[in-house]
Amino acid sequence: MHSSAAALVDDLAAVILQLGTLGAPRQELSRTAAATLARIQRNGPARLTELAIAEGVTQPSMSTLVARLVDQGLLRRGGDPQDARVVVLDLTPAGAELLAQRRADRADRLTRALADLSPADASRIDDALPALARLADALRRSSTSPEVNR
């Protein structure tokens, strides 16, 4: 072990923040918009209030955001036959396509960055990946902040 616990924390924080460049690829979609689309793709159709809570925004904000995304053809509105008040949002093919493009773009940038590393570095990152995933999980649980940009 080459670092004290305090140095590990500081260095790790710095690295995590610098890695954040990967998360801000385009301006074509706000952070919340991207997270909302990704959530629907991951979990299936969802109600407006549900999305507002999940993304940590108010109901009116989600209402206008969803209206924008529907206008842009990325989301589709549906109703609940059981309850005429509710609005159910689902991804359109165009929405799914946009998410796929964003993921491909990120994968490209990451692939290029990894190509600059030595095999030993790549291997150490590979080895640490499950641990990093568990760290991310622990971080997410202890945090009240908004969702990640998928």
Using CB under 7 A as the binding rule, the residues of this chain from 21 to 50 that contact DNA are 29-33, 47-50
Give 32's Cβ-side CA count (13 Å radius).
18
85 binds DNA (CB under 7 A): yes
Stretch that binds DNA, among 6-14, 86-94, 117-125, 130-138 (CB under 7 A): 86-94
Task: Give Cα 146 to chain centroid, integer Å.
Answer: 10
| Single-letter residue type at 128 | A
User: Is residue 94 close enough to count as binding a second copy by CB under 8 A?
Assistant: no
Q: Across-strand partners of 91?
A: 75
Q: How far is the CB of 121 from a second copy (least distance, A)?
A: 4
Touching a second copy, residues 14-53 (CB under 8 A):
14-25
The answer to whether 18 touches 113, Cβ cutoff 8 Å, is no
**Cα 115 versus chain centre, distance:** 24
Tokens for 75, please give them. Answer: 């989301």
Q: Could you say whether residue 146 binds a second copy (CB under 8 A)? A: yes
77 binding a second copy? (CB under 8 A): no
**Tokens at 104, concatenated:** 């491909």
Residue among 36 and 149 whose Cβ is closer to a second copy: 149
Least distance between DNA and beta carbon 85 (Å): 4
Q: φ, ψ for residue 136 (rounded to 5)? A: -60, -40
Residue 76 binds which entry of DNA, a second copy, none, CB below 5-8 Å type-dependent: none
What distance in Å separates the CA atoms of residue 42 and residue 133, rounded to the nearest whole number?
18
The contact set with DNA (CB under 7 A) reads 29-33, 47-50, 56-61, 63-68, 83-88
